[in-house]
């Protein structure tokens, strides 16, 4: 059984988070601080949520992680991915699909991430 949580956009892996690598005390404290800040209220799709539940925090963090990926903000990607991996230990994959009208996000709990295979092409 793999302890990898992967984030894929349009089927291409963007992040592979290895839960077997422990977070240090600073990182764990940072994640707890993220929880405390979110408990004071968050904004989801333009709607204020004053006391968010876990699933709302996950939705908020996922949206921010997508923005961080698009902005190539590695520190923020790492923190947000760590949050998702630690708060949802059974989560195997986050599949993001960009569509004409926006994007869809599928949280996968029952399918291990198998990694990607590089295929080389040669000219004949």
Instruction: Flag whether 121 is in a domain.
Output: no
Q: What pLDDT does 45 receive?
A: 87
Of 64, 38, 65, the residue nearest 53 (C-alpha): 38
Is residue 122 domain-resident? no
Average pLDDT over residues 102-124: 77
Residue 117: inside a domain: no
For 10, the domain range is 4-108
Report the alpha-carbon distance of residue 3 to residue 42 in Å, rounded.
Answer: 30
Is there a domain that residue 27 lies in? yes
Residue 46 inside a domain? The answer is yes
At residue 121, does pLDDT exceed 90? no
3-state secondary structure of 64: helix
Per residue in 6-64, pLDDT tens? 999 999 999 999 999 999 999 999 999 999 999 999 999 899 999 999 999 999 999 99
What interhelical angle do 74-87 and 54-71 show, nearest 10?
150
Quickly list DSSP for 75-123: HHHHHHHHHHHHH-TT--EEEEEEETTEEEEEEESSS------------
For the stretch 48-103, pLDDT in tens is 999 999 999 999 999 999 999 999 999 999 999 999 999 999 999 999 999 888 88
Residue 120 lies in a domain: no
Assess if residue 36 is contained within a domain: yes
Domain count of the fold of the chain? 1
Determine, yes or no, domain membership for 71: yes
**Contact 42/56 with Cβ under 8 angstroms?**
yes
Enclosing H/E stretch for 16: strand 12-18
pLDDT confidence band for 124 (50 / 70 / 90): low
């Amino acid at each position: 059984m793999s302890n990898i949580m992967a984030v894929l956009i349009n089927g291409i892996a963007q992040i592979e988070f290895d839960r077997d690598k422990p977070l240090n005390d600073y990182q764990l404290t940072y994640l707890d601080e993220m929880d405390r800040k979110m408990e004071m209220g968050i904004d989801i799709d333009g709607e204020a949520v004053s006391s968010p539940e876990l699933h709302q925090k996950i939705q908020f963090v996922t949206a921010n992680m997508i923005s961080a990926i698009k902005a190539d903000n590695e520190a923020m990607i790492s923190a947000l991915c760590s949050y998702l991996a630690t708060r949802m230990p059974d989560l195997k994959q986050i599949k993001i699909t960009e569509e004409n009208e926006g994007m869809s996000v599928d949280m996968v709990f029952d399918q291990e991430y198998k990694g990607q295979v590089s295929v080389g092409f040669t000219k004949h």
